[in-house]
Chain A
């Protein structure tokens, strides 16, 4: 199956950088969220969906508010899995989900990955799971044919990178800033160095996220030979603004990024 590997291969052939939008599953509610995804898949290579969580400590205010909107509308893990099964009816796009550790832990690590596999999820990122504690998660992921995405940050030492590379599959998620998710204007110079360093250490595609929100940043990342870029908060902000019918505004926004 390996949708992620195939997709990167195809993009490499076309010499294109992958575009991966992030939204919170169920923001602002289940129905609208499904509509938003329908729009996103038309213009994206990959999709990243967040499980709404009460305490998203790696996220800035924009995504925190999206989590709260989704939870207030009655979203929960069961419904996220259901939403993704629905997406699979009309799209074969590779899907990564972001789920905070307690959501995985509470469901039962094995059960979470099993349900993820059944729903048609390709990769799972647990943003508050340190690589040292990840054995159980990675084992379950492998069992159900799911990739384990890990974050690499500016503070990650070479020794830590090596540990991460032993566990990671699918692609590496490079955190482009020292901080939580949100909208930033620039790309930190350290990020470009890290892309080079990671490419030397590993064959895995390097995808850059956190703070990416405009066309200029994307151009810089393309030049630095990043394999993909994740845009989250900037899109979520559009959803926040056009709550009931954000599809057109999202389309316009994505157009502006290229």
Chain B
């Protein structure tokens, strides 16, 4: 991280410690999470899908939160933190637009000015979310540099933060970036796993055999996995975007094509060339289209606690169709990667295993893109 941001990051770290201890603010956060975000979200038994795949499959319904994805858990928390720190302006990056929408909503609710940076390519493929952000009062700034996707939006948000650090909080949307962001975002997201653990014990009287979640930066995955980490028998799989396949070079599977590197203030696996230039990524899903991955994922993979797999664009579309037609639930293209992986996994393991899929977001935002791909017939 550039020197200009180092002291502000230290201040953020200190403010966050205070924020966690402040009883009044924590009460406010609790009520925001319950009434504004709409938690707890259901853990839903996917009966038809279970029968079709021969496994017991539950979906953690983050798609049912306000604004339609898990991103709001973190956005609401950090927006409140921004207010607690006396900042009047928040900025955010967004890929799929879900984090942008969540930030815009939280900022509107808490009376903060909001600017969202979004790659031009992503603005095209997630147009409905651009409209939602604008309606919520946010300014959406198109980013035309580099690959015009999430990585470039983060660059631009960081540049804004460098220039406006005294008035502005950078509301980073994933378990990425410089400390304390990876830990802080995970803390705001771990409620997913806390709820799911209780809910599955209540529903099935036992812990799940598998947890499956998609991994872009990795916030929904870490959110679900975190509370299960001490449960050694629970296997966890993070699903990356395989794009057009690893050999094609057009993907975002950092653990399959990346090397250790430094991007956006964190050391993790990065898709890069032999000189260290960051490569452009490809995924059908804007939310997974990022050349690095949260550092805690790299750590947990090294510890062999979480394993990682990838799903191609084509497989993800099949997953999207499968869930839509079996359960009447249209998943986001991101979450469809997790669904597709679970259906692949189901064929490789004994019948009757208990699997929780994190349904991190809903698919309304993707309808236009999906229609253009010719997935919907008739």
Residues of A within 8 A of B (CB): 53-55, 57-58, 60-61, 64, 68, 71, 76-78, 101-107, 127-128, 130-132, 150-157, 160, 164, 175, 177-180
Q: For window 79-98 of chain B, which residues contact chain A by CB distance below 8 Å?
A: none
Residues of B within 8 A of A (CB): 1-8, 145-146, 151-152, 155, 158-159, 162-166, 259-265, 270, 272, 274-278
What is the CB-to-nearest-CB distance from A62 to chain B, in angstroms, rounded to a whole number? 12
Q: Could you name 13 residue pairs across A and B whose Cβ atoms are closer than 8 Å?
A: A53-B277, A54-B146, A71-B277, A101-B262, A103-B275, A105-B276, A128-B1, A154-B4, A156-B3, A160-B7, A178-B162, A178-B163, A179-B4
Q: For residue B155, which residues in chain A have a CB less than 8 angstroms away from its CB?
A: 55, 57
Given contacts A132-B6, A175-B3, 8 further A-B contacts (CB under 8 A): A55-B151, A77-B275, A102-B261, A128-B2, A130-B3, A160-B7, A175-B4, A180-B163
Q: For residue B265, which residues in chain A have a CB less than 8 angstroms away from its CB?
A: 128
Q: Which residue of B lies closest to A153 (CB)?
A: B4
- Asked, given contacts A105-B261, A106-B261, A179-B162, whether A151 binds B3 with beta carbons under 8 Å apart, the answer is yes
Q: For residue B278, which residues in chain A have a CB less than 8 angstroms away from its CB?
A: 54-55, 102
What is the CB-to-nearest-CB distance from B270 to chain A, in angstroms, rounded to a whole number? 7
Q: When the two chains form the complex, which single residue of A57, A130, A160, A180 contacts B264, counting CB atoms closer than 8 Å?
A: A57
Q: For residue A101, which residues in chain B have a CB less than 8 angstroms away from its CB?
A: 262
A130 and B1 CA atoms in complex are apart in Å by 6
What is the CB-to-nearest-CB distance from B293 to chain A, in angstroms, rounded to a whole number? 15
A-B contacts, CB under 8 A, total: 103
Q: Is the CB of A57 within 8 A of B165?
A: no
Q: Is the CB of A106 within 8 A of B163?
A: no
Q: Is the CB of B163 within 8 A of A78?
A: no
A77 and B275 CA atoms in complex are apart in Å by 6
What is the CB-to-nearest-CB distance from A60 to chain B, in angstroms, rounded to a whole number? 7
A55 and B266 CA atoms in complex are apart in Å by 14
Q: Is the CB of B8 within 8 A of A106?
A: no
Q: Is the CB of B163 within 8 A of A102?
A: no
Q: Which residue of A lies closest to B178 (CB)?
A: A130
Q: Is the CB of B274 within 8 A of A106?
A: yes
Q: Is the CB of B165 within 8 A of A155?
A: yes
What is the CB-to-nearest-CB distance from A119 to chain B, in angstroms, rounded to a whole number? 15
Q: Which residue of A lies closest to B278 (CB)?
A: A54
A131 and B10 CA atoms in complex are apart in Å by 13
Q: Is the CB of A58 within 8 A of B2?
A: yes
What is the CB-to-nearest-CB distance from B119 to chain A, in angstroms, rounded to a whole number? 13
A94 and B225 CA atoms in complex are apart in Å by 53
Q: For residue B163, which residues in chain A have a CB less than 8 angstroms away from its CB?
A: 177-180
A150 and B8 CA atoms in complex are apart in Å by 18
What is the CB-to-nearest-CB distance from A168 to chain B, in angstroms, rounded to a whole number? 11
Q: For residue A127, which residues in chain B have a CB less than 8 angstroms away from its CB?
A: 2
Q: Is the CB of A60 within 8 A of B159?
A: yes
Q: For residue A76, which residues in chain B have a CB less than 8 angstroms away from its CB?
A: 275, 277
What is the CB-to-nearest-CB distance from A232 to chain B, in angstroms, rounded to a whole number? 15
What is the CB-to-nearest-CB distance from B335 to chain A, in angstroms, rounded to a whole number? 28
What is the CB-to-nearest-CB distance from A125 to chain B, in angstroms, rounded to a whole number? 11
A254 and B27 CA atoms in complex are apart in Å by 60
Most chain A C-beta atoms within 10 Å of own C-beta, residue among B1, B8, B152, B274: B1
- Asked, given contacts A128-B265, A180-B159, whether A54 binds B2 with beta carbons under 8 Å apart, the answer is no
Q: For residue A77, which residues in chain B have a CB less than 8 angstroms away from its CB?
A: 275-276
Q: For residue A55, which residues in chain B have a CB less than 8 angstroms away from its CB?
A: 146, 151-152, 155, 263, 278
A93 and B4 CA atoms in complex are apart in Å by 29
Q: For residue A151, which residues in chain B have a CB less than 8 angstroms away from its CB?
A: 2-4
A66 and B162 CA atoms in complex are apart in Å by 21
What is the CB-to-nearest-CB distance from A51 to chain B, in angstroms, rounded to a whole number? 9
Q: When the two chains form the complex, which single residue of B7, B162, B270 contacts A58, counting CB atoms closer than 8 Å?
A: B162
What is the CB-to-nearest-CB distance from B138 to chain A, in angstroms, rounded to a whole number? 22
- Asked, given contacts A57-B155, A102-B263, A178-B165, whether A130 binds B6 with beta carbons under 8 Å apart, the answer is yes
Q: Is the CB of B272 within 8 A of A102?
A: yes
Q: Which residue of B lies closest to A58 (CB)?
A: B2
Q: Which residue of B lies closest to A78 (CB)?
A: B275
Q: Is the CB of B6 within 8 A of A106?
A: no
Q: Is the CB of B4 within 8 A of A178?
A: yes
Q: Is the CB of A103 within 8 A of B145?
A: no
- Asked, given contacts A57-B158, A179-B163, A180-B159, whether A155 binds B6 with beta carbons under 8 Å apart, the answer is yes
